Amino acid sequence: MRLIIGLGNPGSEYVRTRHNAGFMLLERLAERWSAVWRDENKFSVRIAWSEWQGRRVLLAQPQTYMNSSGEAVGPLARYYQLSLERMLVVVDDADLPLGHLRMRPGGGTGGHHGLESIERCVGSAEFPRLRIGIGRRNGAREITSYVLGRFDSTELALVDRVLATACGQAECWLEAGIQTAMSQFNGAVPDPADEREEQ
């Protein structure tokens, strides 16, 4: 069994905001795999069960709000007795440019409060994470309003391609392991706008 966790904030006001990139990817995976969401109130998560290449996969969106994500993830992982390397956490990353993907087997939080909460609640930083770049506006350090805002219309085509590529990376992680998924997918996703300019 594998667990894929997408981080975000619940509620209609946060739908498709930059900070909800993890939620957006899991919704795309559930659609690809024809998985049906349901509320699991015992763990404060939305979950959807599926299978990929014969492997059982649980998709989970914590409903605790971003900064308390670990309060849902920790009990969920313990309930299913999952070793941490079988758990992939998907997050937005303002330090990565929009259009970039970076999967790692562990590491620091980069100041991401959702990752910090999970590390506290599982007692380790050694779990795979997939960072989806959202960039920063003009290099600003204060980014609260930016990450809680929605993607601009000029960004949507690239965001769509990033999510499709990230789905492929998650599936590669499930099938071939993290080293292959990192080597094949980490880096910049081609921007459709650049391709149109070249034609």
* Average pLDDT taken over every residue of the chain: 95
Give the pLDDT mean for 86-102.
Answer: 97
Q: Name which of 123, 137, 112, 151 is nearest 8 in CA terms.
A: 112
Give the pLDDT mean for 55-59.
Answer: 96
> Domain 2-198 is classified in which CATH homologous superfamily?
Peptidyl-tRNA hydrolase (3.40.50.1470)
Name the catalytic one among 19, 100, 112, 113: 19
Q: How does residue 139 score in pLDDT terms, banded at 50, 70 and 90?
A: low
In angstroms, rounded to a whole number, what is the distance separating the alpha carbons of residues 22 and 103?
13
Q: Name which of 17, 124, 135 is nearest 65 in CA terms.
A: 17
As a three-state string, the secondary structure of 120-184 is HHHCCCCCCEEEEECCCCCCCCCCHHHHCCECCHHHHHHHHHHHHHHHHHHHHHHHHCHHHHHHH
Coil, strand or helix at 195? helix
pTM (two decimals): 0.95
In this predicted structure, what is the pLDDT of residue 190? 95
Crossing angle of the two packed helices 178-185 and 156-176, in degrees rounded to 10: 150
Q: How does residue 196 score in pLDDT terms, banded at 50, 70 and 90?
A: low
Alpha-carbon Rg of the chain, whole angstroms? Answer: 16
Q: Name which of 74, 57, 68, 72 is nearest 124 in CA terms.
A: 74
- Under 8 Å between Cβ of 4 and 21: no
Give the pLDDT mean for 145-152.
Answer: 93
Output the six-digit token pair for 61: 């969106």
In this predicted structure, what is the pLDDT of residue 140? 65
Domain boundaries, the chain: 2-198
19 catalytic per annotation: yes
Q: Under 8 Å CB-to-CB from 31, ≥6 apart: which residues?
A: none
Give the pLDDT mean for 9-22.
Answer: 97
